[in-house]
Amino acid sequence: MSNKKLAIISTKGTLDWGYPPFILASTAAALGYDVEIFFTFYGLQLLKKKINVKVSPLGNPGMPMPMGMDKWFPVLGTAIPGMESIMTMMMKSKMKAKGVASLEDLRELCIEADVKIVACQMTVDLFDMSPSDFIDGIEYGGAATFFEFAGEADITLFI
Amino acid sequence: MADFDQELDASGLNCPLPILRAKKSLAGMSAGQVLHIIATDPGSVKDFEAFAKQTGNELMESKEEGGKFTFLIKKA
């Protein structure tokens, strides 16, 4: 019996949007799926050796804020310098307190489970990123590389 | 008290860690052996059912006692 296949395109480089690709990929691998994630545009931030992504309250009205701040805090206030870092710090400590794994840990679990990781060569060139900034064991490819796997996939997600 | 061969304490861990740890533990066990899992994530109740169904490992027992969820999974 050949395994089911899951293909994911990861395009977002924020703390919150970094989770779905790694959670779904690692879980699918645990369930016996063959998994490939194609990282493109801002999703490439998730492949940096040290992941340095933030969560932004700016333009994110659904984000729960502490102390009812979302009720009385003006929308423009979320653009204050430093807000992003503060919210990111708070989010990270909340995640730790609730037993949510770090992005690095989840990524490591994906790699251990043989999730195939492909970085978009075009974006790497576009942003003058250096492959030495990225973790080892990843492949570089383009849209055709993605379809080689996704064409056979049972599930394909764009995140 | 049911019999089991190995125990995994996933207390305090959140989705998807209990499932991933269980998978790892099962990988090191032989067919027919039973894994006892302790978790505090309420989502793990549905998740272990789904995990068992999809991997073919048998969920022999799923219990809740005082905020702790315990499972017995027999490796296929």
pLDDT digits (tens, 9 = 90+) for A14-69: 999 999 999 999 999 999 999 999 999 999 999 999 999 999 888 888 888 777 77
Q: Is residue A15 part of a domain?
A: yes
Question: Residues B35-65: pLDDT tens digits?
Answer: 999 999 999 999 999 999 999 999 999 999 9
Question: Residues A27-38: pLDDT tens digits?
Answer: 999 999 999 999
Look at chain A and report how many structural domains it folds into: 1
Domain that holds residue A21: 5-54+102-158
Secondary structure of residue A32 in the 3-state scheme: coil
The tokens of A47 are what? Answer: 């492949």
Q: Is residue A88 part of a domain?
A: no
Q: Using CA of residue A142, residue A143, residue A145, residue A150, what is the dihedral sign?
A: positive
Residue with tokens 């933030």: A54
pLDDT of residue A1: 58
First to last CA, chain B: 22
d(CA A24, CA A141): 22
User: Is the CB of B23 less than 8 angstroms away from the CB of A30?
Assistant: yes
Provide the CATH topology of domain B6-74: Translation Initiation Factor IF3 (3.30.110)
Q: Considering CB atoms only, which of B14, B20, B54 is closest to A98?
A: B14
Q: How far is CA A1 from CA A33, A54, B28, in A?
A: 12, 41, 22
Q: What residue ranges do the domains of chain B occupy?
A: 6-74
Q: Is residue A76 part of a domain?
A: no
Q: Quote the Cα angle for B23-A40-B14, to 5°.
A: 30
Q: Is residue A92 part of a domain?
A: no
Contact between A53 and A144 under an 8 Å Cβ cutoff? The reply is no
Interface test with B, best of A22, A109, A111 (most B CBs within 10 A): A109
The tokens of A5 are what? Answer: 């296949």
Interface test with B, best of A3, A31, A98 (most B CBs within 10 A): A31
Q: Does A27 touch chain B (CB under 8 A)?
A: yes
Contact between A78 and A58 under an 8 Å Cβ cutoff? The reply is yes
- A82 residue type, one letter: G
CATH of residue A154: 3.40.1260.10
Express as a percent the part of chain B with pLDDT over 90. 93
Lowest mean pLDDT among A7-11, A72-76, A139-143: A72-76
pLDDT of residue A83: 85
pLDDT of residue A78: 79
Question: Residues A71-116: pLDDT tens digits?
Answer: 777 777 778 888 889 889 999 999 999 999 999 999 999 999 999 9
pLDDT of residue B28: 95
ipTM score over 0.90, yes or no: no
Q: Is residue A126 part of a domain?
A: yes
pTM above 0.90, yes or no: no
d(CA A11, CA A18): 9
